[in-house]
Amino acid sequence: MVLCVDGKKQSLSAFAIPEMSLSSARTEMKKHSFSVTVSASDMLARLAAPYDAWVADSKKDDQLCAEPQDELAEAGYPALQQVLAMPNLLELVVGHYLFGELVRPLIWNGHGPIEYWFDQVTSCRSTGIVVEVAGVCFSRR
């Protein structure tokens, strides 16, 4: 897995997902673009169990509400391998629902300095071999 910030490779251990939104802190921070690139096979291995758990919980929500609650439900909860070929679902699943699950084992672990704080994912795409998640992060000025 590779992290790039503003087009330059960075250490994943210096990237953190804050517990809460950066909200007002953004005004005192510097905005950056980031991308995380991971092989599709690595992504599938890392997200298989979290995806299955997400699907199980989502199906329960669908039953309680008596209708599908998102695009993933409307698509019939395809296998994660199939999601790779569905751009809108890939961004929803990997870019939003499970981004933390994908990167958390390799990013800042509570030790050492944080250089970049995750803010949001803006896109997610797959070539079938590689998955790239792009978004916005911030650093101290």
Question: How confident is the model over 92-107, as pLDDT tens digits?
Answer: 999 999 999 999 999 9
- DSSP class of residue 94 equals I
Q: Model confidence over 49-66: pLDDT tens digits?
A: 999 999 999 999 888 888
- Please check whether residue 42 is in contact with residue 1, taking contact to mean a CB–CB distance below 8 angstroms: yes
- Residue extents of the structural domains in the chain: 2-139
Distance CA 114, CA 16 (A): 7
Q: How far apart are CA 30 and CA 118, in angstroms?
A: 12
pLDDT value, residue 61: 86
pTM given for the model: 0.91
Q: How far is CA 38 from CA 7, 103, 137, in A?
A: 16, 10, 18
